[in-house]
Amino acid sequence: MTMSATVRTTGGPAPAAAGLLGSWVEAHEETCRGGRTYRVLVNHRTGQATELTGAEAALCDQLPSGAGGGRAGGPDAATLLAGLREQGFLAASPPPPPSARRRVEVSVSRLDLRWTGAGRLVRAVHDRGARHLFHPAAVTAQAVVALAGLAALAATLCSHQRFQLRVHPAQIPLVVGLSLAAVGVHEFAHALVVVHHGRQVDGAGVRLHLGTPAFYVESVSALLLPRRHRLVQAAAGVWAEWQFTSIIALWLWRSPLPLAIPLLHRFVILNAATIATNLAPFTGLDGAWILADTVRAPDLARRSRGSVTRLAAALASRQPVTGEDHALAAYATLNGLVAAGLLATGGFFWYQLFGDLAATLTHHGLAGWLTLTAAAAVLATPALSATTPRLAQAAASARALHHALTFRLQWRWRIPATRHLAAAFPPIARLSQHELGLLAGHLHRTHRKPGPRPSYGVVHAGTLTATASTGALVTLGPGATWDPSHQLHHTTRRATLIHIEATTLHQLHTPSPTPT
C-alpha cells in the first residue's frame, strides 16, 4: 500500500489556513505521543500530502485569509507559501482538476503501469458484496481459516516433502502467477478497508519489485483515517494474504495435485516467511505503520530519517540529547540493516528463480548474452531511479556529519585561540559571549602564511618574521599575536597561524538592523 506522507491525522483545518487552502485540500491535526501536535495537508487533486511542523502550522494560522506573498509572516512564511503554491495546495494556485489526468499512466524509467480508475472498481466490489467481509460472522470465519492455515503450515513443515528452492525455467510462470495473486489479494485488502471507511483509492498498478512484477494500490486518503482504522488498514494486507496462503496450505495438506506439490510446498513456506517479514516494524513494511500507530507516533518514519547524523553531530558538539534521540537513531540504524538484509535476500531469491534461465541464455552465444544484458538493464532501471535520490541524500548527510565531527575536534584550538585574541585585542574583547562564539567558528588555521588580507591572529606553532607598523622586523613565536598591520617577511616550515580577517570581525560586531 502506497501513501504519500508519513503523518496521518484527523481533525479540522484552522480558520486562517482554511482561507488559504483550496477546497480540494483537507487539513487535519492529531495529538501524538508526548503531547506533540502535527498537521497534515492532503491534496485530493494531485494525490499529494505534506506535513506541517509546529512552527509552520503556527505561521499558517497567523497569516490572513488569502495571503499571497507571505509578507505578514516574514521570509519564513513566504518560503512556506511558496512551497504550498508549488504543490497546488493554495486556493490562488489550483492544480488541474482530476478529470484532466490520463486514466492509464506508464513510467518507463520505473517500469510502472498505473491505472487511475481503480477506485471505482474497488468501490463496486465493496458495494456488491465485499462489505460483508467486515461483518463479525465473516471475521470469525476468517479467524478459523487463519488458524487452520497455521495447522496446515505446521503439517507442511513437518512433511517429508523435499523443499525445492531452485525453480526450473518452465515453472517460472506458475511461480510468478502465485506470487502475483498473493500480492494482489494483499493490496486489494488494503484498498477495501480504505473504501469501507469512506475514503477513496487514487490508483493501482503493477511495477517491478526486486526484479519481479508486483501489484500496488495508492490512497492518500488513507492518511486521514482515524488511528484505529489505520491500524486495521495496515494489518489488512497481511491478514488477507495469510487467508490466501492458508487456503493453498489446506489444499496442499488435504487434497493436493501430485504434479503441483513441489511448487505449492515452496510457495506456502516462502510466502509464510514473507508475511512474517512484512510484519517487522521497519520502514517500507506494513509492520512499520502498525508500530507507528500503536505507539501513537505516526511520524516515526520521518523523524527517524537522518536521526543518526543528528545524534552524532549533537554528541560531537556536546549539545544536549534525550533518550528519544537515542531511540530514533537506534531505530534508523535497524532500518538500514534490515533494508540491506532484505535487498540481499531479494537478490538471493531472484537468483534462485531466474538463475537457471540466465545460465541457459549464456549457452546461446552472443544472442543469449545480449538478451541477458538487455534484461539486466531493464530490471536495473527502477532500482537506479529509486536509489539515485537516496544516494544524494546519504552523501549530503555524510558531508554534514563529517563537518560536524571535524568542527567539534577543532574546538581544542578554536576556544583557546579565541580567549587569547580577546585578551590581546580590544576590538575582540568588546564582543559579547554570543559574538565570541561566532568568532570561534570563523577562525582559520593557516600554515606558512596568514593570507593577503589584514588579520588578527595568534601563532600556534613555529615562528614568523614580520615587519611591524614601526618598520622594525619582529619574530613571533608560539603564543605571540599577529596584528593587522604586520607584513609577512619569513616563516619556518612548521609555522601555523590561527587568525580571523578584520572584515569578518567587523561583520560580527556590527549590530543587525532592527526590522521596521
Q: Is 188 a residue whose pLDDT tops 70? A: yes
pLDDT of residue 386: 61
| Interval 303-340: pLDDT, tens | 888 788 778 777 766 778 888 889 998 998 898 888 88
Domain segments of the chain: what residues?
15-98, 99-404, 425-509
Cβ atoms of 39 and 9 within 8 Å: the answer is yes
Task: Estimate to the nearest angstrom the gap between the alpha carbon of 96 and the chain centroid.
Answer: 28
Q: What is the mean pLDDT of the chain?
A: 81
DSSP reduced 3-state for 487? strand
**pTM: predicted TM-score of the whole model, two decimal places:** 0.72
| Interval 238-296: pLDDT, tens | 999 999 999 999 998 887 777 678 888 889 999 999 999 999 998 778 999 999 999 88
pLDDT of residue 341: 85
Length of the chain, please?
A: 516
In the block, cell 561583520 appears at 507
**DSSP bridge partners of 39:** 29, 52
C-alpha cell, 232: 486495521
Task: Name the percent of the chain lying above pLDDT 90.
Answer: 22
- Spatial separation of the C-alpha atoms in residues 113 and 106, rounded to whole Å: 5
Strands (E), 3-116: 25-31, 37-43, 48-52, 104-107, 112-115
Task: Estimate to the nearest angstrom the gap between the alpha carbon of 258 and the chain centroid.
Answer: 46
C-alpha cell, 394: 546519504
CATH architecture group of domain 425-509: Sandwich (2.60)
* pLDDT class of 12 with cuts at 50, 70, 90: very low
**End-to-end CA gap in the chain:** 51
